[in-house]
Amino acid sequence: MRDTNTFYITTPIYYVNDVPHIGHAYTTIAADVLARYWRLRGRDVFFLTGLDEHGQKVQQAAAKAGIDPQTHCNKLAPQFQELWKRLNISNDAFIRTTDPQHQSVVQRYLQQLYDQGLIYQDSYTGWYCTFDERFWTEKDVADGLCPDCKRPVEQLSEHNYFFKMGQYQERLQRHILDNPDFIRPESRRNEVLGFLQTQKLGDLSISRPKSRLSWGIELPFDKDYVTYVWFDALVNYVSALEYLPQGNPAGSRFWPANVHLVGKDILTTHAVYWSTMLMALNLPLPNTIFAHGWWTVDGEKMSKSRGNVVDPNKMVDEFGTDAFRYFLLREVPFGQDGDFSRSGMIARINSELADGLGNLLSRSLTMIERFAGGVVPAHDAPADTSLEKTLGQRTGDLLAEADAHVESLRFSRALESVGEIIQHCDQYIDKTAPWTLAKKPEQRPYLNNCLYHIAYTLGALVQPLYPFMPYTIANMARQLGLEPADAEKSLKWGDSSLLPGTRIQKAASLFPRIETAKPQGAKPVSDTSATPQPVPAAATTPPTQPTTSAPSPPPVPQQITIDEFMKIQLKTAKVLSAERVPKSEKLLKLQVSLGSEQRQIVAGIGKKYEPDTLVGKTIIIVANLKPAKLMGIESQGMVLAAGDADVRGLATILEEVDPGTKVK
């Protein structure tokens, strides 16, 4: 049984033939945030990542290069290891399935299952996909293409070994029903459960004949076969615990894993293959298998042929490690699909990091330097007004929210909560105006109180932001006068260590603004000027009419034909998440589901609605409106609402209607 003070987090082991891309970075950064968070919470963390180095694709690539497969793997593995260093990934171990110790564990488990009568030999004919290295049945294949990768398949007849996976179908189904957090998010849980409830689970071919594939782990009970790459790869999660924690054998201290992070494309192999293998080996199942979504690029699927694959190394070169880490986990609710755009990343950096966190730190330290000699003043609690009490209360509440969100893998929501603290602190500074207080000697005690509360709030931001942006927040901590030798162990940041008497060390800005070239003659963008026209009340206030000496008759609405109206596509959409747009009182950014797709919509309804009240509502949107940018954020549609100058009500659907239904 696992020690309750441990936390074991894993990424998938990435296929060595792949060049590291945004998907690999996304999963690994998310795992790193969890590892750093739980270390700060005092847990003994083991964070594992690594590479899957066996299989037919590796054998073929090596043959094409004229080298042996092991040499081929040794040449490619460093590109992942170097990227993890650049992204400041704090993994405790890096496993390679060519490690002799791993291969020994795989063979031991194969022999155990064979001795238990859970592996048998049989002939098999099916459609084989070389790219995915798996067989498909006749009903799975359409037009001779693999249902996953859409590449051509070939029919193979082979004598192979099979694992009796099918006999665990009911047991696995019961486990999923009894453990709601076992597969997350809920949509993925329902997907796996639906499959198990409606289809018969077959047995799993776990071998490949050496005559076709020699690059793999040899079966201990038949030297003419190697094991199926997925049986080999999945075992890494337990084999690593036997030999990789150097000088600190882990074993049952860490197993079962707290979280397996995977992409949604490999959910079945983890939720079904791996779970049934563990059941057969009498090992506990992991607490959670979390399948996140995919990234598109500017609305298109990533592919080498399109030339739009996002290279994490280039993103780090251009924007820096922490800005890239922040964007990936802030932009999209974890678990959903997301769209990457360079303009969207710049907008996030400028609005939330440069103008938000960076500006707050810079202006605050400047005031402490100017008005308090660079030392955090003492706190006179009886002098606190309602402003100080409100700031303290909201900061405490939002920090608790951020913790709860990280623990539930709601990374975007956690960063949104921290962003609200920054906004509250900015508003507090504007309301108290320390620069004005400094001109009045009689206000000196209250000025000191104000500067103390600003400093304390900044200190309170260090811990929740550190797992996301470790380089930057260590720099921020130093500027605040906190000098951690080892940020995660020697400094307790939970209650803010920025105490009265701390001397600050102001330095360069955390995030300089990224200037983008403006078209010639372009005007400054504001809430209204960025809004596409014509615009219903949900998006912005209509332009005012010029005044005249006499009242004008009410304008006659412009009439359109039925054919023109039919061009407008109104559809129902379910609100998945909502958040405020920084620096705007009225704009909200919504993530909505149209059933077959997810959209991002920016709507001017923030004065009427709090973001949390919208989640789960079924609304009506204009689905075929050309995308537009509002305050640098792309809006892919328009929300319908009633009102003139102010929004008075949102157009919603009362009955249960599937997202994406046409509105007539």
pLDDT digits (tens, 9 = 90+) for 435-479: 999 999 999 999 999 999 999 999 999 999 999 999 999 999 999
Convert 5-26 to b/e letters by CB count within 10 Å (16 or more is b).
Answer: ebbbbbbbbbbbbeebbbbbbb
Higher-scoring residue by pLDDT: 558, 59: 59
pLDDT at 235: 97
Q: Does the pLDDT at position 519 exceed 50?
A: no
Give the mean pLDDT of the chain. 86
The CATH classification of domain 6-293, taken from the options 3.40.1260.10, 3.40.50.620, 3.30.2020.30, 3.20.20.140: 3.40.50.620
Domain boundaries, the chain: 6-293, 342-479, 562-650
Q: Does the pLDDT at position 49 exceed 90?
A: yes
pLDDT at 252: 72
Domain 562-650 coded CATH 1.10.3720.10: no
pLDDT at 524: 35
pLDDT at 300: 82
pLDDT at 251: 63
Distance from C-alpha of 131 to C-alpha of 150, rounded to nearest angstrom: 10
Burial level of 409, CB count in 10 A (0-12/13-18/19+)? buried
pLDDT at 18: 74
| pLDDT single digits (tens) 332-389 | 999 999 889 899 999 999 999 999 999 999 999 999 999 999 999 999 888 899 999 9
| pLDDT single digits (tens) 214-249 | 999 999 999 999 999 999 999 999 999 998 876 455
Higher-scoring residue by pLDDT: 418, 574: 418
Strand ranges (E), 130-237: 134-136, 154-163, 183-184, 204-205, 207-209, 218-219, 222-227
Q: Does the pLDDT at position 290 exceed 60?
A: yes
Per-residue pLDDT band for 632 (boundaries 50, 70, 90) equals: confident
Show the tokens assigned to 159: 């004598």
Segment among 221-235, 511-525, 608-622 with least mean pLDDT: 511-525
Query: What DSSP string runs through 415-436?
Result: HHHHHHHHHHHHHHHHHH-HHH
pLDDT at 250: 55
Higher-scoring residue by pLDDT: 365, 140: 365
DSSP-based three-state secondary structure for 598: strand
Distance from C-alpha of 262 to C-alpha of 21, rounded to nearest angstrom: 15
Q: What is the pTM of this model?
A: 0.76
Cα angle for residues 281, 284, 285 (degrees, 5° grid) = 105
Q: How many CA atoms lie within 13 A of 211 on its CB side?
A: 5
pLDDT at 135: 74
The CATH classification of domain 342-479, taken from the options 1.10.10.10, 1.10.730.10, 2.40.50.140, 3.40.630.150: 1.10.730.10
pLDDT at 122: 92
Per-residue pLDDT band for 287 (boundaries 50, 70, 90) equals: very high
% of residues, the chain, pLDDT over 70: 88
Burial level of 461, CB count in 10 A (0-12/13-18/19+)? buried
Per-residue pLDDT band for 130 (boundaries 50, 70, 90) equals: confident
pLDDT at 489: 46
Per-residue pLDDT band for 79 (boundaries 50, 70, 90) equals: very high
Q: What is the mean pLDDT of residues 388-414?
A: 96
How many of the other CB atoms lie within 10 Å of CB of 337?
Answer: 15
Q: Does the pLDDT at position 485 exceed 70?
A: no
Asked if 3 and 257 touch (Cβ cutoff 8 Å), the reply is no
Q: Does the pLDDT at position 86 exceed 60?
A: yes
pLDDT at 128: 81
Segment among 319-328, 453-462, 591-600 with least mean pLDDT: 591-600
Per-residue pLDDT band for 557 (boundaries 50, 70, 90) equals: low
Q: Does the pLDDT at position 139 exceed 80?
A: no
DSSP-based three-state secondary structure for 453: helix
Distance from C-alpha of 91 to C-alpha of 244, rounded to nearest angstrom: 11
Distance from C-alpha of 269 to C-alpha of 652, rounded to nearest angstrom: 39
Per-residue pLDDT band for 126 (boundaries 50, 70, 90) equals: confident
Instruction: Tell me how long the chain is.
Output: 664
